[in-house]
Structure formats: C-alpha cells, structure tokens
Amino acid sequence: MKVNVQEVRLTAGDDVDLFVSKHVLADARAVIVIVHGLCEHSGRYQYVTAEFNNFGYSVYRFDNRGHGRSGGDRGYINDFNELIDDAQKVVDRVRLENPGLPVFMLGHSLGGFIAAACAVKYPGRLSGQVLSGAAVMIQPVLAALEGVDFSETPRAPIVNTLTDMVCRDPEVVRAYREDPLNLKEFTTRLMSESLLRGARWLMNRQVDYACPCLILHGGADQIVTPDASLYFYEHIASKDKELKIYDGLYHEILNEPEKGMVMKDIHLWLAERI
C-alpha cells in the first residue's frame, strides 16, 4: 500500500492559513476528514490516520485556527462560525480533489461540535459522520456561565487542565503534556463562542441534523459528559444513527488501550455505507 503524503496550506475566507495534512491512496474507497479537539492538533491522530489508510481510506486532517501549525491567534476565535466554515473549506477541497468518492468526517470533542455544526450549516455535503466524545451540548460545569458577558476580557487566559483526564494510558498523558503544539492555555472568547454560544446554537438546531452518524463516547469521560452524546442521539433527525458508549473509557477513546476495538467499530460502520 503506497500512501501519498502531502502537507499544504489552505486559506480560509478571512485569510487565515490552515495547515492540512493529506494521506492519500491511489485506490481509496472513501475519504475521511479529521477534526481535532480543543487545545490539541491534528498531528495527534497519526495512529488513526494509519488505521484508516490500512482500511483503504484516504485521510485529510487539519489544525483548527489558533491551534497547531495553522494561523490565527493562539487559542482565540472571533465567532464560532469561523471553525465551522474552516472545516467546510477543507471538505470542499476534499470533494474537489476526490471526485466521486464518498466523504466522511470524524470529529473529536470540540471537533465533534464543529463536525455536527458543519452538517447542520452545510447539509448534504457528507456521506456520514463519526463523532467521538463530541461537545454537542453545553457542559454542566459551564452551564452557569451561559449569558455571561465576556466582551470586556475576550483574551483572558484559561489554563488547559485537561491533561490527566484525556486517557487512561500514562504514556498518552505524558506525550500530551510534553507536546509543544498542544496549547497550555486558551481564551475566554474561544470558550464562550464554541462551548457556550456555539453549543447553544447547535442544541437549538439538532432537529436539522440529518446526517448518517456513528456517535461514540467513553463511559468514564470526565471532560465531556456521555449525556451529551445520548442527548444528541435522541434529538437529531437522522434516520441512520448509532450510539455506542464504551464502559470505563476516558475522553480520548481513540488513544485508550481499547483503541483497536474502537477503530474496528468505526471501520465496520463506514464499510456498510460505502
């Protein structure tokens, strides 16, 4: 199996450069677009990318603005729609470069919110989505902040305290902590736009979500409550939907010791829709 690997820059609508990594197969059965979570970057999905390639899928992954190797102010956005529009920009490029192939999107955590919102704002562009620990509702720990005016302190720093909760594998935790591309802090503007205003926007439009979807969550997730995935599953309009809660797994189910089982579940779901 020969994989053509390229790293390119894609310019978003407001001239922010997005870093995109492409792992393309000449005879791919489908293309997967990976959307990463808060404070991390697409480089952390090398295992997932390699597995998708082994399954016969090409992979495009990109760094969200303000993250990793993409442009934009670190840990900052002006409006949650920027994240959605950036993801759609990548999807449009994928469709242009891979005519005739089904395109799926895998979104993790904040990336799950971005993916789901993308399917609502730009319906009919994808063959399906896989959502992992997706932040598709306002988290209970943040509920009291909804409606708070952060306009006077949009760049106030919020320390990234996620490290020890991402995974049960201590090596993954160590690598997360030492990764220079992971953000050590983000801003109140990113938090309020994506996890509050954006999440509320999506919650109000779940009935407009009709994309085929596989919704996955770790049962012991301490970062995004599994109830978010259950709530989303129960309220969306999709006729083709499936929910799996993995008992005992933490937030990053694709990095947990059981990640091979999770990838197999994803592959089987995708294979049935190609």
Contact of 34 with 67, CB cutoff 8 Å? no
Contacts of residue 32, defined as CB under 8 A and 6 or more positions apart, other chains included, come to 52, 57, 58, 59, 60, 103, 104, 105, 106, 270
Contact of 109 with 139, CB cutoff 8 Å? no
Contact of 67 with 41, CB cutoff 8 Å? yes
Would you call 260 exposed, middle or buried from its count of C-beta atoms within 10 A (0-12, 13-18, 19+)?
exposed
Active site residue 109: yes
Active site residue 86: no
Q: Which residue among the candidates 21, 42, 70, 109 is catalytic per the annotation? A: 109
Number of Cβ atoms within 10 Å of the Cβ of 235: 13
Contact of 2 with 26, CB cutoff 8 Å? yes
Q: How, if at all, do strands 57-62 and 17-25 pair? A: antiparallel
User: Which three-class secondary structure state does DSSP give residue 139?
Assistant: coil
In a 13 Å sphere around the CA of 204, the CA atoms on its Cβ side amount to 7
Instruction: Find residue 131's DSSP bridge partners.
Output: 107, 215
Q: Which residue among the candidates 36, 132, 221, 238 is catalytic per the annotation? A: 221
Active site residue 251: yes
- Residue from 92, 153, 150 nearest 118 by CA: 92
Helices (H), 65-198: 80-97, 110-121, 170-178, 188-190
User: Which residues belong to the active site?
Assistant: 109, 221, 251
